[in-house]
């Protein structure tokens, strides 16, 4: 809360995508704090390096961690990256009155019944299983060799529940929570085109009633490739909260 002028400044909650912990947001979080924002970066359950049983972690455990971060005074700007879209959408659905705005970093709010990969087998998904595909798709654009090395070294296998479980949404008021998609690996025009073509992961783009799309051309991990620009866009959204 910012009491310097009597105004309430929105808290910012940063949720990383697959394989990542709070550390992924370190530079962006620092830049936002320099601007005076109250920032919380999450490590979702099962993404701790020493977690003993990732196979027991479910999507709802990720939702609960986000719900806990939403508690407290003042408006919240919820920022979700990549695969965090599913638990973030559910958290907003359950707590519409706590989230002032949402930001989706190279991802989008999902629709009822969506699952990242309902047929996924096993207890966890390691980064290495997707590494070559991500490289070929250009997702790593803008990352240095040092950043790629750190990513591989620090990545934690994603719990299968977060990959396989479907979301259950009940409150249509979530569709009126102002939302901003920061389009990085694909342009805003591509996001809309793919949604209109029926890409399941982007169905929420057509459903949401208070959505804007902004471009930040880079790869899928802008918190590393363009941290200052990403922080500026998040701060701009938070300033409207």
Query: What tens digit of pLDDT does each residue of 17-60 get?
Result: 999 999 999 999 999 999 999 999 999 999 999 999 999 999 99
Report d(CA 85, CA 182) in Å as an integer: 13
Q: Which of 114, 72, 70 is closest to 94 using CA atoms?
A: 70
Q: Kind of pairing, strands 179-183 and 99-105? A: parallel
Q: Over the Cα atoms of the chain, what is R_g?
A: 17
Query: What tens digit of pLDDT does each residue of 60-70 get?
Result: 999 999 999 99
Q: Which of 103, 99, 96, 62 is closest to 79 using CA atoms?
A: 103
Report d(CA 42, CA 129) in Å as an integer: 24
* Beta strand spans in 76-162 (E): 76-81, 99-105, 124-125, 158-159
Instruction: Categorize the per-residue pLDDT at 73 as very low, low, confident or very high, splitting at 50, 70 and 90.
Output: confident
Per the CB < 8 A criterion, the answer to whether 206 and 195 are in contact is yes
Report d(CA 88, CA 204) in Å as an integer: 13
Per the CB < 8 A criterion, the answer to whether 127 and 17 are in contact is no
* Beta strand spans in the chain (E): 11-15, 39-41, 76-81, 99-105, 124-125, 158-159, 179-183, 211-215
Report d(CA 62, CA 90) in Å as an integer: 10
Rounded to whole angstroms, the maximal C-alpha distance in the chain is: 53
Hey, is 97 helix, strand or coil?
helix
Per the CB < 8 A criterion, the answer to whether 213 and 181 are in contact is yes
Per the CB < 8 A criterion, the answer to whether 226 and 216 are in contact is yes
Report d(CA 214, CA 175) in Å as an integer: 18
Instruction: Categorize the per-residue pLDDT at 213 as very low, low, confident or very high, splitting at 50, 70 and 90.
Output: very high
Query: Taking all residues of the chain, what is their mean pLDDT, rounded to a whole number?
Result: 95
Average pLDDT of 159-166? 97
Is pLDDT of 3 > 90?
no
Determine the pLDDT at residue 7: 56
Instruction: Categorize the per-residue pLDDT at 4 as very low, low, confident or very high, splitting at 50, 70 and 90.
Output: very low
Cα dihedral sign, 42-47-52-58:
positive
Instruction: Categorize the per-residue pLDDT at 10 as very low, low, confident or very high, splitting at 50, 70 and 90.
Output: confident
Q: Which of 162, 14, 175, 173 is closest to 86 using CA atoms?
A: 162
pTM of the model: 0.95
Average pLDDT of 165-171? 98
Per the CB < 8 A criterion, the answer to whether 92 and 63 are in contact is no
Residue 213 phi/psi, 5-degree rounding, is -120, 130
Q: Which residues pair with 105 in a beta bridge?
A: 81, 182
């Amino acid at each position: 809360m910012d009491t310097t002028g009597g105004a309430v400044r929105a808290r910012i909650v940063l949720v990383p995508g697959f394989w990542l912990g709070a550390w992924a947001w370190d530079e962006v979080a620092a830049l936002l704090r320099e601007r005076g924002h109250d920032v919380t970066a999450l490590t979702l359950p099962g993404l701790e390096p020493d977690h003993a049983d990732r196979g027991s972690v479910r999507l709802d455990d990720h939702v609960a961690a986000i719900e806990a971060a939403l508690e407290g005074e003042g408006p919240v700007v919820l920022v979700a990256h990549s695969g965090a879209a599913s638990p973030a959408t559910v958290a907003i659905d359950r707590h519409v009155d706590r989230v002032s705005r949402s930001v989706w970093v190279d991802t989008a709010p999902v629709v009822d019944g969506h699952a990242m990969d309902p047929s996924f087998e096993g207890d966890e998904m390691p980064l290495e299983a997707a590494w070559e595909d991500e490289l070929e798709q250009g997702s790593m654009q803008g990352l240095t060799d040092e950043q790629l090395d750190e990513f591989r070294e620090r990545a934690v296998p994603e719990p299968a529940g977060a990959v396989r479980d479907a979301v259950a949404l009940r409150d249509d008021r979530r569709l009126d929570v102002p939302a901003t998609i920061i389009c990085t690996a694909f342009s805003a025009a591509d996001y809309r085109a793919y949604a209109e073509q029926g890409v399941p992961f982007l169905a929420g783009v057509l459903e949401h009633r208070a959505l804007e799309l902004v471009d930040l051309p880079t790869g899928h991990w802008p918190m590393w490739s363009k941290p200052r620009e990403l922080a500026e866009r998040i701060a701009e959204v938070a300033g409207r909260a």
